[in-house]
Amino acid sequence: MRIIDLRSDTVTLPTEEMRRAMYEAEVGDDVYGEDPTINKLEELSAQTLGKEAGLFTVSGTMSNLIAILVHTQPGDEIILGDEAHILWHELGSAAALGGTVLRTIPNKADGSIDPDIVEQTIRPESALLPKTTLLCLENTHNRCGGTVLTPEYTSSVVELAHQHGLQVHIDGARIFNAAVALDVPVSKLSAPADSICFCLSKSLSAPIGSVLCGTHDFVERARKRRKMLGGGMRQAGIIAAAGIVAIQKMVDRLAEDHANAKRLAQGLSQIPGIIVDPGKIQTNIVFFEPPTDMSALDFTLQMKTRGVKFNALGRRMVRAVTHRMLTSQDIDEALGRINDFVKEM
Ligand code: TLP
């Protein structure tokens, strides 16, 4: 039985072209700044995102943490949405390793946060209060269902934060998905922020890595934090080579994943008892609720025995992510298997 893995776009395997680029990569010791392939990836990333410089890191989690360590001091407060990946899935690293307080405000269903609430939440300057120094946005928004933040929204909320002396970091793990969905250059989404990271290892199919971008000064400080965390790599051009292919070759095809996500959501909406809103799908993430009162975990375990893998991200929230390794036929096959299971329930 063919396994249809909808758990995440992180399961994508490197392409043949990536493997060739990895084999042929020119490398050096990156801690001395001497790996030409990493240097090329960092320059290409910065240029693509409209930033001065880039830093190759092991993961999105590490990039987000480094950004927090550079933008804040221990005791500072960070404003972010209550569905943020930084809050839910990064093991409390901002608190454990950055000594920062995460102050959440509600994420709207579209992944945004209300600028008025942001403004009300910023602490006034006082000897009695923590200092609010950073605002974090997420684009696309994972737990809100792959929703996109527009350039207009991003600019306006960044401007507001800047007026109050805050820095803004974007967790742009899937920022290229947002750019493709909105049909805008990715730099329009990243330019307003002080820093942004994106992942090479998700929908772009590279095996490892993320790039954190910002000003020269920000990246210089970020480089020291990365070393402090043990993330200074040596001949890592071997993996950066796949990242270059990812940026150059894998962006345009993301529209296919988005079409497959819509196809999946539309198919799910035809299955009795499943709760899903196909009109909400903007990129490659689909959230749905299984029939009756079945828990998301039970549903995923049952479907796993039928060769379709999902992630349970809440008591009733099942997540499916479309990606390069799945065709529209795979989506139809998955829908058929779900339908069979629901009929037998
Ligand atoms: N997200 C993973 C899981 O942790 C949930 C996934 O499968 O989607 N920011 C966002 C918005 C993310 O979705 C992720 C990964 C990260 C950061 C962290 O990236 P990695 O896994 O490279 O540390």
Nearest-atom index, ligand 1, CA of 59:
22
Residues 43-65 have a mean pLDDT of 98
Q: Is the CB of 61 under 6 A from ligand 1?
A: yes
State the distance from the centre of ligand 1 to the C-alpha of 289, rounded, in angstroms. 21
Q: For residues 238 and 168, give the distance between their C-alpha atoms in angstroms, rounded to a whole number.
A: 32
Work out the number of other CB atoms within 10 angstroms of the CB of residue 179.
26
Q: Is the CB of 210 under 6 A from ligand 1?
A: yes
Q: Can you give the three-state secondary structure of the chain, one letter per residue?
A: CCCEECCCHHHCCCCHHHHHHHHHCCCCCHHHCCCHHHHHHHHHHHHHHCCCEEEEECCHHHHHHHHHHHHCCCCCEEEEECCCHHHHCCCCHHHHCCCCEEEEECECCCCCECHHHHHHHCCCCCCCCCCEEEEEEECCECCCCCECCCHHHHHHHHHHHHHCCCEEEEECCCHHHHHHHHCCCHHHHHCCCCEEEEECCCCCCCCCCEEEEECHHHHHHHHHHHHHCCCCCCCCHHHHHHHHHHHHHCCCCHHHHHHHHHHHHHHHHCCCCCECCHHHCCCCEEEEECCCCCCHHHHHHHHHHCCEECEECCCCCEEEECCCCCCHHHHHHHHHHHHHHHHHC
- Per-residue pLDDT of 155-169, as tens digits, reads 999 999 999 999 999
- Per-residue pLDDT of 167-222, as tens digits, reads 999 999 999 999 999 999 999 999 999 999 999 999 999 999 999 999 999 999 99
Q: What is the pLDDT of residue 345?
A: 87
253-344: what fold?
Aspartate Aminotransferase, domain 1 (3.90.1150)
Residues 64-82 have a mean pLDDT of 98
Identify the CATH assignment for 12-249 out of 3.20.20.10, 3.40.640.10, 3.40.47.10, 3.30.450.40: 3.40.640.10
Tokens of 68: 């927090």
Q: Is the CB of 10 under 6 A from ligand 1?
A: yes
Annotated domain spans of the chain = 12-249, 253-344
Q: Is the CB of 57 under 6 A from ligand 1?
A: no
Nearest-atom index, ligand 1, CA of 210:
22
State the distance from the centre of ligand 1 to the C-alpha of 171, rounded, in angstroms. 9
- Per-residue pLDDT of 250-298, as tens digits, reads 999 999 999 999 999 999 999 999 999 999 999 999 999 999 999 999 9
